[in-house]
Amino acid sequence: MYQAPIDDMKFVLRHLVGIDRVAAMQSYEMVSDDLVEAVLDEAGKLAGEVIAPLNHSGDMTGSVRNEDGSVTTPPGFSDAWKAMSEGGWVGLNADPEHGGQGLPQCVSAAVNEMWNSANISFALCQLLTQGAIHALEVVGSDDQKATYLPKLNAGEWTGTMNLTEPQAGTDLAALRTTATPDGDHYRIRGQKIYITYGEHDMSENIVHLVLARLPDAPPGVKGISLFIVPKFLVNADGSVGERNDVRCLSIEKKMGIKASPTAVLQYGQDEGAIGYLLGEENRGLDCMFLMMNSARFDVGLQGLAVADRAYQQAVSYARDRVQGTPLERERGDTIIHHPDVLRLLTGMRAEIEAMRALLLIGGFSLDMAHAGNGGDADFWQTRANLLIPVIKGWLTERSLELTSDALQVHGGMGFIEETGAAQHCRDARILPIYEGTTAIQANDLVFRKTLRDGGEAVRQLLTEIRSDMDEISSGGNGVSGHAGAVLAACDTAEGALDTLLARANSPRDAAASGTDFLMMLGYLSGGWQLARGAAVAAKAKASGEGDPDFMAAKQATASSYMAYSLPEVEKRAAKITGGPDALAAMNPDWL
């Protein structure tokens, strides 16, 4: 059973993010510790009591496409969606003007972690809907906002993102779906694949955001426009009208996230699906990137979420399972006392807490960019732009090993589907792939976020990390060793940055180093946040504030991270230095 890690979320929001800093912004002045605590507590109940029990059964049942093209989700999903919608959770961080709750991204991210830990397949519907809401808020016309946002925020309607086609995956320049002008709308014709919740029975209507080409569009990605194509047309009074010309041809059979329907959608089998231009003509990719940036943050969140669910299950199993007598323990003691099992679980907890802290810091950066003014907003937008590929790449890549470690704790029983441990591994495997593979995130980080500004954004991050570690070192709180380890890792990372910049004239070398550079920044940023958390915990413990066991665990977790995870910074830096030359020596014909 899933137990939302509310105490850790509250700790990060209060002490590492600083919820008071968020509340000081005019857009979020209603935010307070009490409000955040109430939101997290209520979300935890819904996640644990309603959504989590559907995870394993949904995986076993899957969604089913019926002969008429409709799709039936697993038993309980529709009722769970109704509960989520009635609770106002769908539009948690959306504009209150159109029915959203207006909460900051850092709080919304903590809540979304709960949904995805509880049931990642179910939660995908909400994440896609939030992405559609965001795109409409930014580029939708007043009429479009009034028509679609209240229903989406209420969960009565859901949203999708339609990019991929059979011949156009990452290369959207190959996109063939067309949009022909027809009066005040367009006729959309083409096929889209991998459309998450493209057809289902949980909401009254589905609002598809579809990339397509106008007849006179320029070639390549500069000729792509974005269209709103609802499953059912919307009447003038806002009610659902006749069925649009969009059909679900099939749903995919997948390795993981089996309960979520991944649809192949055909637009225009008959007269053409009616669509409405969203934003400007031939600027569709810019609009879609609004959704994709949000989606990449959310997929990183999913990596954290599924890792934590797997970790909780592994801890529960290890507390109960008796196998052999652990060293220096009594006969009958459970496997959690075996040193290697303890190593696995401790390492998992450390990285999960580091991932959570970095995720919420990323959400805070987005909040400050959204609510700030002038240069301050620009700084935070730059910081968010830097962190998002790291969050997406590092958290999802680590989720693969962390869910595998959780299965390892189960031993042979983990390989048996009945325990559910294997499901977490299968569900995690898509995360470094969809919404831009790890290589795409690495290219974004290296070419757009690092080489383009000569490494300035990364150096600003390193400067902030050093400043925080210097403050910890001078605080005399018993955790200066953590700060020293992070400072040493900072020096290593800066050396790797210099190497990367020195190779800027060779794009192949930069691309070959990209994934290691991304992972290096992930491990470093995680150590930064855990060292900060350990310093807070040491101070609280010394003054008698908070739960002493919680604070002691915070310090021990940070120590584990410094011992087992932070050394990855040096390893990745070494690969950045030597890897490109080794790769250049390999002839692809030899493979």
pLDDT digits (tens, 9 = 90+) for 72-96: 999 999 999 999 999 999 999 999 9
Residue 347, domain member (yes or no) = no
Residue 534 has pLDDT above 70, yes or no: yes
**What percent of the chain has pLDDT above 90?**
86
- Look at residue 169 in the predicted model and tell me its pLDDT: 76
Find the mean pLDDT for residues 484-497.
97
Does position 332 have pLDDT exceeding 90, yes or no?
Answer: no
Query: Within a domain: residue 76?
Result: no
pLDDT at 31 over 70: yes
Report the percentage of the chain scoring pLDDT > 70. Answer: 99
524 in a structural domain? yes
pLDDT confidence bin for 67, thresholds 50/70/90: very high
Into how many domains does the chain fold?
Answer: 1
**What digits encode the pLDDT tens for the residues 456-475?**
999 999 999 999 999 999 87
Residue 435 appears among annotated catalytic residues = yes
Q: In this predicted model, what pLDDT tens digit does every residue of 238-276 receive, in sequence order?
A: 999 999 999 999 999 999 999 999 999 999 999 999 999
Q: Is 391:356 a contact under the CB 8 Å cutoff?
A: no
Average pLDDT over the chain reads 94
Alpha helices (H) in 372-455, listed in sequence order: 374-410, 421-428, 438-443
Give residue 326's pLDDT: 80
Can you point out the beta strands (E) in 163-224?
178-182, 185-196, 205-212
Query: How would residue 342 be classed by pLDDT, with cut points 50, 70 and 90?
Result: very high
Q: What is the pLDDT of residues 279-298, one digit of tens each?
A: 999 998 888 777 778 889 99
The answer to the question of residue 528 being in a domain is yes
Distance CA 30, CA 38 (A): 13
The reported pLDDT for the residue numbered 48 is: 97
pLDDT reported for residue 479: 74
pTM (predicted TM-score):
0.95
- Domain range enclosing 582: 437-586
Burial class (CB within 10 angstroms; exposed 0-12, middle 13-18, buried 19+) of 167: exposed
Q: pLDDT tens, 189-232? A: 999 999 999 999 999 999 999 999 999 999 888 899 999 999 99
In a domain, 578, yes or no: yes
Sign of CA dihedral 237, 241, 246, 250: positive
pLDDT at residue 563 greater than cutoff 80 = yes
The answer to the question of residue 576 being in a domain is yes
Predicted confidence (pLDDT) per residue in 138-185, tens digit: 999 999 999 999 999 999 999 999 999 998 877 777 889 999 999 999
Q: Which residue has the higher pLDDT, 474 or 391?
A: 391
Torsion of CA 554, 556, 561, 562, to 10 degrees: 120
Confidence bin at 476 (pLDDT 50/70/90): low
Model pLDDT, residue 466: 98
Please tell me the predicted confidence (pLDDT) of residue 170.
Answer: 77
Q: What is the pLDDT of residue 221?
A: 85
Taken in order 534, 6, 202, 141, is the CA torsion positive or negative? negative
Name the catalytic one among 113, 165, 435, 568: 435
189 belongs to a structural domain: no
For residue 562, give the amino acid letter: M
Instruction: Give yes or no for a contact between 59 and 121, defined as CB atoms under 8 angstroms apart.
Output: yes
pLDDT band for position 346 (cuts 50, 70, 90): very high
In a domain, 510, yes or no: yes
